[in-house]
Structure 1
Amino acid sequence: MELEERVAELERRMAALERADRPAPEVTDDTFWALEGLKAQLAEAGAPGEDGAVLFTGSVRLPTEERYEWQFGALTERLLDEDWTETAESFAALGHPVRLRLLREILGGRRTAADLAELAEIGTTGQIYHHLRQLTGAGWLHTIGRGRYEVPGTRVVPLLVVLTAARP
């Protein structure tokens, strides 16, 4: 890795550390403002939402300074009636520690297969490409040029939601 790249990587890591030192947001009386807003919208809609709904939303700034905002909601009835096996490939792609590490590194700015191959404990180049194909096939990544990858903007917040929901 050239000196210029190493300095850029150190600056990126330092910026991430500085952001991590911010205090947690204060919890106020309107802690469930998103939930209350969802319930109000369901009440206004009438019968279609009487069984409830699920909502996730997020506003994200990555270490690369890219920003993403996203929200998605679905009625509970529809979710419970769907064939969940259709999501198996997506979950399976996230079910390997190396793939999760690759996603984290790509979100952090390492976008090429060559950059990823420099990381310790990731595996051989062939193994890395195997994992990248799995993530791309499941829609968690897409290519943005020869050997360059990114998490699609519409998947950044959902990925972080899944990771948050999976915490013990």
Structure 2
Amino acid sequence: MAALLLRYTGRHCLRAHLSPRLCVRNAIPLGTTAKEEMEQFWNKNINSQRPLSPHITIYNWSLPMMMSITHRGTGVALSAGVYLFGLTALFLPGNFESHLALLKALSLGPALIHTAKFALVFPLMYHTWNGVRHLMWDLGKGLKIPQLHQSGVAVLVLTVLSSVGLAAL
């Protein structure tokens, strides 16, 4: 965009449509086009025989890496769940009590109810405990590799225990 503006200004300066103070003196024409630059880039990468970018398969999976990915995933899932719950509450007829009565009338059984409650509370507990872990990192604590693994295991244990406890309520 800037190159086009500069070219336009240069042409008008040559035609003396603009004042000499605004004109660029001794304008140098562009050396290559964007298409030529792009072709040079790709030819250089093809000739170097290197992979275009690191692929996920070249990494050794570690606990902190998996927990970071899971933290992001649970954040997205929790956000989507809140929006979905809000939209269904907004557009479905009836109120919360009528929907709760409908669920009770289904007689789903305690095992299914507790499993569903665990599945709903697990992302919240994981995201919460891992968020506390991230806050500790922001304070500069627990950043060494052994501490990362210890805090990761602690987050997983606390997540399972608190999820089981909340699902049992």
TM range (shorter): under 0.3
**Higher helix residue share:** 2
Rg bigger for which structure? 2
Using the size of structure 2 for normalisation, the TM-score is 0.25
Query: TM-score scaled by structure 1?
Result: 0.25
Structure with higher RCO (Cα < 8 A, 6+ apart): 2
